[in-house]
Structure 1
Amino acid sequence: MRLPTTTPRQQSRRFPGLVVGAVAVLALSACTGSAEDAADDEEGGSAPAAAAQGSNDEEGDTVTIGFSAPAADHGWMAAITNNVRDLAEQYPDLDLQIAEGTNDVNLQISQVETFINDGVDAIVLLPFDGAAMTPIALEAMEAGIPVINVDREFDDPNAARVTVLGDNYGMGVSAGSYICEQAAGDEDVVVAEIAGIDALPLTQDRSQGFEDALSECGLDVDARQAAEFTVESGEEVASQLLQSESQIDYLWNHDDDQGIGVLAAIENAGRDEFVMIGGAGSANAMRDIQGDNGVLKATVIYPSTQGADGVKLARLLVQQKGVADLVEVEVPRMVQLYAPVVTADNVADYLGSAFES
């Protein structure tokens, strides 16, 4: 995701062992049991788990949801909208109104105004600029239309009924913890980092998580360069880093889209003495990991399912359903998705949902 205006750090700065948690890991496709299920439970005849969990997927009243996101100018953002489109086939009761992706804030505001005027049931919004989109989101909420804020947060929490986030700080923690595990107590290893755009809070959070996790095993970042989340900048910055550092043991690159350029620079330099960890979780990165034929050995996921998760939560809200496995009957105010490390050992579990760079 990439460009939120603000990203709260809600994780602890201490990490017992190498386990990284998230604020919430929720099953988004199912709901809490019905009143009939509850009555059955009291009589000792609870419904099968599969039936209870499948109830949210059963067709209900038609729900009209407006969806707006930035332009699909890189793989991760394209996957955001494509995953939303796929839900239309899965849920016949979904009437999806998908606006054309745009990086023009004024146009995105106009798109949301149209949704409000059309009287949609809910709006799922991944803002190009969270601060700029806050007033129109507040307007939608005041009109009685629930807004689901995805990835790039609004300035005012009242502008959204639900916020769905990735975990930028957790990405850094996962990458750093993986290196600690691989280094196995060797504090003499050289760790390098190729970040995204340094001015962005998301980059700052990723780097802070990385630094905090490394400190747990006595390591720090020995060399760092910032790129711009593009292939071209990744290649340029990686070339500079490789020229200045004669020895590297571990390299974390924040973003698999820019990682295409990073890997090109590594190949051009003929370097293969280090282990590289990617970020975001692209399919091409996972295939490289699966093939085990280069320096890329792992990547940390930043889910491209966030928009689709937002739509599914919007559907639950409008149909007055809850989320399975929670006692709470209402959809939560915030869902923060996990940032797992993908390696050759578990890549098959994640490849099917990965985005193409």
Structure 2
Amino acid sequence: MKTSTPPATPLRSTRSSAIRRLCLAMAVSLASGAALADLKVGVAMSQFDDTWLTYLREDMGAKAKSVPEGVTLQFEDARGDVVKQLSQVESFISQKVDAIIVNPVDTAATARITKEATDAGIPLIYVNRSPDDRKIPAGVVVVASDDIKAGEMQGQYLADKLGGKGNVVILLGDLANNSTQGRTKGVKEILAKYPGIKIDQEQSGTWLRQKGMDLVNDWITQGRKFDAVFSNNDEMAIGAAMALKQAGVKEGSVLIGGVDGTPDGLNAVKKGDLAVSVYQDAKGQADAAVDAAVKMAHKQPVEQWVWVPFQLITAANADQFKH
């Protein structure tokens, strides 16, 4: 009796199955690789030529390189132009980046940026400068430091050194920036407790060393007498110190305070050109901003407001700070 045997599987069929399995494996691998590809984050900076913001930008770049999965940052310079910055954000949206970080030119003009990013469903992180409108929607995070605290710390230290009396001047930052408003408010809230301290002048040096120097030169030329300079940042404070030196004012007879703790600011405190500064942690803000961008891109929970604390800098502790 003849027995039948099952037909052999054709070689072509076996090869086809193997090819299909290989293609499927490759597709899965590619999909997995896409998920692990670098996140693309657009970063719109208010201006590149600001000393402290340069450290912030460099620290964001360093943080991005340290993220295991990879983060590519695309930096754009708004050059102090609100319209240019909005255009840069719109370009990021059209590129479908994974997140957007903005250091706003004008803190009162962020509503349009917020709306366009949230409408596109792209996570938005404001860094260093918070929007004037504190009612931010879901999908938006702010990483900054409390500028009022910086003003209070600077104000209290100098008021104590003045013994609660004297004439003072204030060098303001960019008037379109709420850091200027916050730092000045903090100073004035402290000085309000000291009726013996009078504010003689306050003008904007727009964060720049040369403008701080020019303003103080003008006040000296006008014959104004002042015992202290309250500056919204280190650069203007250093300019003030230079003006006083050039005018032959006795060293230490006019107290000068800054904010930021930049390398030049730290050196000025160590040398005695500045009596005090207040450290603004660029690395702390940069790390928190990039961390928020990565988490939000992966739909992970984040705090909506991240406050990086200021710290007082004097000659006694200046060596422990660095950028």
TM-score range, shorter chain: 0.7 to 0.9
Identify the residue that residue 275 of structure 1 maps to in structure 2. Answer: 255
Quickly say closer, same or farther: Cα 1:139–1:282, change in 2 above 3 A: same
Give the secondary structure class of the aligned counterpart of 1:193.
strand
Question: How many pairs does the alignment contain?
Answer: 281
Q: Deviations for 1:50-89, whole angstroms, at most 9, x for unmatched residues? A: xxxxxxxxxx885332222123122122222211111132
Structure whose CA Rg is larger: 2
2:258 counterpart letter in structure 1? G
TM-score using structure 2 length: 0.76
RMSD over aligned Cα atoms: 2.7
Identity %: 25
Task: Indicate whether 1:342 and 2:322 are aligned.
Answer: no
Alpha-carbon separation, structure 1, partners of 2:101 and 2:165: 47
Which runs of 4 or more aligned residues in structure 1 lie more than 6 Å from their structure 2 counterparts after TM superposition? none
Identify the residue that residue 173 of structure 1 maps to in structure 2. Answer: 152
Residues 105 and 177 of structure 2 are in contact (CA less than 8 Å); yes or no, is this contact kept in structure 1?
no
* Aligned with 1:230 (options 189, 199, 208): 208
> How does 1:249-328 map onto structure 2 within 5 Å?
249-271=227-249, 272=251, 273-290=253-270, 292=271, 294-305=272-283, 306-319=285-298
Quickly say closer, same or farther: Cα 1:116–1:281, change in 2 above 3 A: same
Alpha-carbon separation, structure 2, partners of 1:178 and 1:317: 39
**Structure 2: gaps (5+ residues):** 1-35
Q: Deviations for 1:93-142, whole angstroms, at most 9, x for unmatched residues? A: 23223132123444433332333233322211112234544324322222
Give the secondary structure class of the aligned counterpart of 2:171.
strand
Identify the residue that residue 123 of structure 1 maps to in structure 2. Answer: 100
> How does 1:1-357 map onto structure 2 within 5 Å?
62-103=38-79, 104-150=81-127, 151-153=129-131, 155=133, 157-158=136-137, 161-183=140-162, 186-198=163-175, 200-228=177-205, 229-244=207-222, 247-271=225-249, 272=251, 273-290=253-270, 292=271, 294-305=272-283, 306-319=285-298, 330-350=301-321, 352-353=322-323
1:139 counterpart letter in structure 2? E
Q: Structure 1 residues 307-316 or 131-140, which shifts more?
A: 131-140
Residues 99 and 111 of structure 1 are in contact (CA less than 8 Å); yes or no, is this contact kept in structure 2?
no
Alpha-carbon separation, structure 1, partners of 2:56 and 2:148: 20
Give the secondary structure class of the aligned counterpart of 1:73.
coil
Alpha-carbon separation, structure 2, partners of 1:177 and 1:304: 23
Quickly say closer, same or farther: Cα 1:216–1:61, change in 2 above 3 A: farther
Quickly say closer, same or farther: Cα 1:313–1:195, change in 2 above 3 A: same
Quickly say closer, same or farther: Cα 1:100–1:200, change in 2 above 3 A: closer
Residues 241 and 256 of structure 2 are in contact (CA less than 8 Å); yes or no, is this contact kept in structure 1?
no
Give the secondary structure class of the aligned counterpart of 1:262.
helix
Residues 303 and 337 of structure 1 are in contact (CA less than 8 Å); yes or no, is this contact kept in structure 2?
yes
Give the secondary structure class of the aligned counterpart of 1:221.
strand
Give the secondary structure class of the aligned counterpart of 2:77.
coil
**Structure 1: gaps (5+ residues):** 1-59, 322-329
Structure 1 residue 173: Cα displacement? 0.7
1:310 counterpart letter in structure 2? A
Alpha-carbon separation, structure 2, partners of 1:219 and 1:300: 24
Question: Hey, which of these two has a bigger chunk of strand by percent?
Answer: 2
Residues 228 and 254 of structure 2 are in contact (CA less than 8 Å); yes or no, is this contact kept in structure 1?
yes
Q: Deviations for 1:4-42, whole angstroms, at most 9, x for unmatched residues? A: xxxxxxxxxxxxxxxxxxxxxxxxxxxxxxxxxxxxxxx
Give the secondary structure class of the aligned counterpart of 1:222.
strand
2:125 counterpart letter in structure 1? I
2:234 counterpart letter in structure 1? D
TM-score using structure 1 length: 0.69
Alpha-carbon separation, structure 2, partners of 1:202 and 1:113: 25
Q: Which structure would you say has the larger RCO, counting Cα contacts within 8 Å and 6 or more residues apart?
A: 1
